[in-house]
Amino acid sequence: MPKTHRNSPSFADAAPDEPLVDANWDLVPVPLRAQLLDYFQIGMVPGSFLIAVLSNDLKSAVMLADEMNLARLADLVRFLYNYAPSPSWGSGEAIADWESFGGLDGIEHGREAAQ
């Protein structure tokens, strides 16, 4: 299923009231958790390894991964598939859109402004 982007109706529905509260953060290596949370929450683009993972660029993700991240790559993808806001990942375009919109905070701010 293709990822949606901010121009689609589902982009506006990407911000739950309590984002990622029920996510299984144990699937994400500890050193990556803050980067990933900042990315989802405010659209701050993470480092090159996470960009490759978020872009579905397996070759780059494998080449950029250190030993720990390589060993946990499948868990990281499981986390994205099961818990990440769908418009936030899947392609380079999705990442650029998520960054420009300001992540979940930007979506919420946009909702408030529209009311």
Please tell me the number of Cα atoms within 13 Å of 11 on its side-chain side.
22
CA distance 73 to 59: 12
For the chain, the domains span 27-106
Find the distance separating the first CA and the last CA of the chain, reported in whole Å: 31
pLDDT tens digits in sequence order for the chain, 115 residues long: 333 333 333 444 444 445 588 899 999 999 999 999 999 999 999 999 999 999 999 999 999 999 999 999 999 999 999 999 999 999 999 999 999 999 999 988 877 776 6
Instruction: Look up the pTM and report it.
Output: 0.81
Which one-letter amino acid corresponds to residue 54?
A: L
Decide if 77 contacts 32 (C-beta within 8 A). no
- Name the 3-class secondary structure at 61: helix
